[in-house]
Amino acid sequence: MLPSSVQRLNLNRDVHHDIRHYVRGGLKGVALIALVGLALSGCETAALKGILDKPQLSNSPQSQQTAKAQPPAKASHSASAGVGPQLAARPDPAPLPRPPLLPSLEDLIGRIPQATTQAGVGDAIAEPPPVPLARGLRVAVLLPLSGTNQRIGAAMLNAAQMALFDFAGNDYELLVHDTLGTPEGAQEAARLAIGDGARMILGPLLSSSVRAVSDLARAASVPVVAFSSDRTVAGSGVYTMGFFPGDEVKRVVEYASTKGAQRFALLAPRGAYGETVSKALNAAVWQAGGIVVQSEFYDPQVSDFSEPVKRIAHYDARRGALLDQRRSLTARGGEVSQ
């Protein structure tokens, strides 16, 4: 058995041998890797170089801006030697002039606002606002603002405007229409008023005009409050605000009877109203125990009533008797004739 020192020496020798073996193997591996790298670098082809030289795609904003900044290279058409003449590049055609812009009527034609994107809601489209409608109550007044009765119509319109500002609320709207003093004008005025959205019609003034608008108003379910004093035009949605002739005549006859009057005369316009007043007077006077001695009718278009008044008062006969009495006194020489 060898001594311990000799055993340690042999052991150290074995260890050194193993170390030299691993070192040599490692050096061989490193040398192999180096040889492979040199082979790859020497075998690099043109195709591999083209692949490696291609620009890499990138989604970054900086790369996109760089790509936009570099203008594309223009292709040059050149012929190789011995093939043919060199072809010149064609110049880019000049841009065509733009036609002039025509004025747009889109803003004037469309009254409904277009839908817009609301801020903070994303891509949600807001609903267009509804078309504004007429608010409140619309009432039309039909008056003869022209023609023979224009003064009466103007006075009644002033009264209606005063009442509007004194009593009506802010949601009340008055539509004024001229009837021209004729049934045809009243019918046209009623048609326009109903078309404007009138919920009620005040007027017209004359009974003939009221009859002209009654059927049109009933068809549209629009009530009519007329200023006529003819009771016969009322009914089926048509009302009157005037004083009825029968009631007025009756009250006048009753009052005159209390004062001792028994003989009555009538002066009335020619037409339906005058006939109504005449019938009412005869009935009221007969009921009071009196008598109607004379009735005279005048043209409603005139303003001089002297002739019918003379006939009622028997002016010619009374004046003749007065003249005869004056001549008689003159013949006597009395001072009364002077």
Q: Provide the CATH number for the domain formed by 137-240 in this structure.
A: 3.40.50.2300
pLDDT grade for 255, boundaries at 50, 70 and 90:
very high
pLDDT greater than 50 at residue 84: no
Return the pLDDT at 316.
92
What is the assigned CATH class of domain 245-303? alpha beta
More confident residue, 331 or 321: 321
Q: What is the mean pLDDT of residues 168-190?
A: 93
Mean pLDDT over 99-115 rounds to 46
C-beta of residue 233 within 8 angstroms of C-beta of residue 207? yes
Residue 62 in this model has a pLDDT that exceeds 80: no
Whether the pLDDT of residue 5 is over 80: the answer is no
Residue 231 is predicted with a pLDDT of 82
Reply yes or no on whether the pLDDT at 95 is more than 80. no
Read off the pLDDT band of 33 (50, 70, 90): low
C-alpha atoms less than 13 angstroms from C-alpha of 115 in its C-beta half-sphere: 6
Instruction: Please state whether the predicted TM-score (pTM) of the whole model is above 0.85.
Output: no
Domain ranges of the chain: 137-240, 245-303
Residue type (1 letter), 101: L
Whether residue 66 is predicted with pLDDT greater than 70 in this model: the reply is no
In whole angstroms, what is the distance from residue 252 CA to residue 229 CA?
16
In this structure, the strands spanning 291-298 and 224-226 are unpaired
221: its two tokens: 């379910």
Q: What is the pLDDT of residue 166?
A: 85
Contact present, 229 and 244 (Cβ < 8 Å): yes
Q: Is 245-303 the same fold as 137-240?
A: yes
Across 108-197, the runs of DSSP E, i.e. the strands, are: 137-143, 172-178
Per-residue pLDDT at 79 = 39
pLDDT of 265 > 60? The answer is yes
Q: Tell whether the model's pLDDT for residue 49 goes beyond 80.
A: no
8 A C-beta contact, residue 290 and residue 264: yes
Please, are residues 245 and 266 in contact by the beta-carbon 8 Å criterion? no
Question: Which H or E run includes 26?
Answer: helix 4-42
